[in-house]
Chain A
Amino acid sequence: MSTATAEHHDHDDHHGPAKGWTRWLYTTNHKDIGTLYLLFSLVMFFIGGGMALIIRAELFQPGLQMVDPLFFNSMTTMHALVMIFGVVMPAFVGLANWMIPMMIGGPDMALPRLNNWSFWIMPFAFLLLLSTLFMEGGGPAGGWTLYAPLSLQGGDNLAFVIFAIHFMGISSVMGSINIVATIFNMRAPGMTLMKMPLFVWTWLITAYLLIAVIPVLAGAVTMLLTDRYFGTSFFSAAGGGDPVMFQHIFWFFGHPEVYILILPAFGIISSIIPTFARKPLFGYASMVYATASIAFLSFIVWAHHMFTVGMPLAGEMFFMFATMMISVPTGVKVFNWIATMWRGSMTFETPMLFAIGFLVMFTIGGLSGLMLAITPADIQYHDTYFVVAHFHYVLVPGAIYSIMAATYYWMPKWTGNMYDEKWGKIHFWVSTVFLNVLFFPMHFVGLAGMPRRIPDYSMQFADWNAVATIGAFGFGFSQLIFVYVVLKCMKGGEKATTEVWEGADGLEWTVPSPAPYHTFETPPPIR
């Protein structure tokens, strides 16, 4: 037991990774699969980003210049599907694969072969989804929410989209089952639940959310499929169905989904801020309870996406207050992070910059979310660019920044090399400036009434749209710096120490850098 560190070297020799490209195809190693997920996510990030740039290029000026409206609509639809299901979710699953076994002192994921399947389904799902762009009639263009009856009136791409969603769903649910099983069964002796790092906690709760709501989405899209091809009338009023019901079922999935996209981010930020503030996390237990409360509340707020469908007053009041209640546990988290930094001896390496950027800008997105929660105000904001500004502020400097922070934070452990700090910082500052140039003006045009998902707009929105487009191209191309830093770090650089960061705390910092192929085959002692 006491020779835990010595033993790592033994394991290192006797069973390393297989040779050749089949290593990646057949691998059941959590680190390999984590790497695959992260690389997949990076590739999809550029595909989804390219789509966003097409959208912004068209919106640079009023009028129709670049693309025809149908293609524009399929770009908004695909951009959302790719970014949600192809970038943020796989990146979090990749981080979970890499870090959770190391953080809880387990040798690998609980169900390694299932893990291989979960990943390898993804490329096929996205092949199905992206192939629709090259089909007659183009890709899906009714919005990522696939609202009936609009989505039922498009071409046969719907069938491809639905099966792609089924595949992604199966992948996510299998991944989640694996993560829950890992956390419950693979912890080192002494690693009690309330000693787990917050990243593990937030992922445990996220995994439960995924298992609970992804099947509901699967049900909803299956109903669309049978409505379109097999003559059922779930959402067709002519046959006794109700299109509004689709929105209820969809958002019953959709709202927990937005917390699926942000809870692991909370876990990442809770790991990074204590390291660079050199203080333990303030209010650990309250963080756990806040995460659980957010997860619970996420199930009872879905209809705030539908304030304009004609709900009765009582329903609007309920969903308004329930939504506002979410800001209480979220506020607890924000204050805990600030309290962690309070009087800490802080340094500002790249991961910390991204974490602080997250804290500031995610809060901006959270506050505009509160504005949207106010029913009478939402009727004005609904389907305008204000909503676009809101969810991009919580997803880009929220989810995406947390993933980048995590990459900079753990990359030395993954590769054994320090990344280039100078370029990391440049990446942060350039991204942050352009990101605000991109998304902040959307608040203004949104409040002035510019509708979302429309390729043209009236003249008075022209200036701010031009500004946003400049920001979009700046932000998009500055992500090439990220690729440069990652590739450079994979190739070499200053060797990382075992601990990597001076103030780092956690089991992942007790194994050598780069982390050996197999870690903790013998459980480490837990303090």
Chain B
Amino acid sequence: MSESDSNDTSTTLGIRKAHLTLSGKLCLLGIGMFGFGYLMVPLYDIICDITGLNGKTSSVAVSAPRSDGAAVDRLVTVEFVSVVNSSAAWSFKPTKTSMQVVPGRSYTASYEVVNLNGRPAVGQAVPSVAPSSAAKYFNKIECFCFTSQEFDTGGRKEMPLVFFIEEDLPRSIDTVTLSYTYFDTGEPVAVSLSDS
């Protein structure tokens, strides 16, 4: 009996070690997957940047187009759309709702914003392009969406946007819609959001 007892103890220890090793590995897998959840955030941004899948335009200004579009024989309609995020009161409208552009040439458009919040406020526009496959051909030389804007109570601003559409925009696309959503980012406290 004592022999089998000692035998039992050694196998018990062996099994316990096996349990610990295996559950340790499985715990690591779990922790790793928790990290993977967070890794999906930069991964998502990278994939969207490369492919323009979610209609995000580039958040950096580009220099003027290389050509003047003289060789281009087509027109593309650019439509301007504005959305105010429901969390705050702004009047936010494009001054012109659409224009005909020649790919390769740069154009200026503008949006007008009025702060109706009844307090000083900071606003930030976030752009999106539809169809999303046009996003990577849509370039901005200058855009109010690169920074946030500070407003006094009732303050009004006309904000410019200088853009061009690349010549290699696929022929299947003849209308590009540029939509800005205007967000309230709180009271002015010298913050500047330079993100897209």
Chain A contact residues, CB within 8 Å of chain B: 110-111, 173, 176-178, 180-181, 184-186, 211-220, 223, 234, 236-240, 242, 244-245, 248-249, 252-253, 310-312, 315
Contact = CB atoms under 8 A, between A and B. Distances in A.
A240 B193 contact: yes
Given A180-B22, A244-B54, A173 B30 contact: yes
Nearest to B185: A238
Given A181-B19, A185-B15, A239-B193, A218 B26 contact: no
Interface of B: 15, 18-19, 22-23, 26-27, 29-38, 40-41, 44-45, 48, 51, 53-56, 85, 124, 126, 130, 132-133, 181, 183-185, 193, 195-196
B30 A310 contact: no
B138 to A, nearest CB: 16
Given A240-B195, A244-B54, A312-B51, A215 B37 contact: yes
B15 A211 contact: no
The 3 residue pairs across chains A and B that have the minimum distance between CB atoms = A219-B37, A238-B183, A240-B195
B113 to A, nearest CB: 15
B27 A312 contact: no
Contacts of B184: 238
A212 B28 CA distance: 10
A252 B54 contact: no
B40 A245 contact: yes
A223 B33 CA distance: 15
Contacts of B132: 310, 312
Given A111-B19, A238-B126, A218 B37 contact: yes
B117 to A, nearest CB: 14
Contacts of B23: 110-111, 177-178, 181
Given A176-B26, A220-B37, A238-B185, 14 more contacts: A110-B19, A180-B26, A185-B19, A215-B32, A216-B36, A216-B37, A217-B37, A219-B38, A223-B37, A237-B181, A238-B85, A238-B126, A239-B193, A240-B196
Given A211-B33, A312-B51, A184 B44 contact: no
B154 to A, nearest CB: 21
Which of the listed residues B35, B41, B45, B85 has the most CB atoms from chain A within 10 Å of its own CB? B41
Nearest to B40: A249
Given A111-B19, A248-B40, A312 B183 contact: no
Nearest to B55: A310
B133 A312 contact: yes
Nearest to B34: A215
Contacts of A238: 85, 124, 126, 183-185, 193
Contacts of B133: 312
Which of the listed residues B32, B126, B183 has the most CB atoms from chain A within 10 Å of its own CB? B126
Contacts of B56: 242
A457 to B, nearest CB: 25
B8 to A, nearest CB: 10
Which of the listed residues A214, A238, A245 has the most CB atoms from chain B within 10 Å of its own CB? A238
A47 to B, nearest CB: 29
A245 B29 contact: no
A177 B33 CA distance: 14
A184 B21 CA distance: 12
Contacts of B126: 237-238, 240
9 contacts: A176-B26, A211-B29, A215-B30, A216-B37, A236-B183, A239-B193, A240-B193, A310-B130, A312-B53
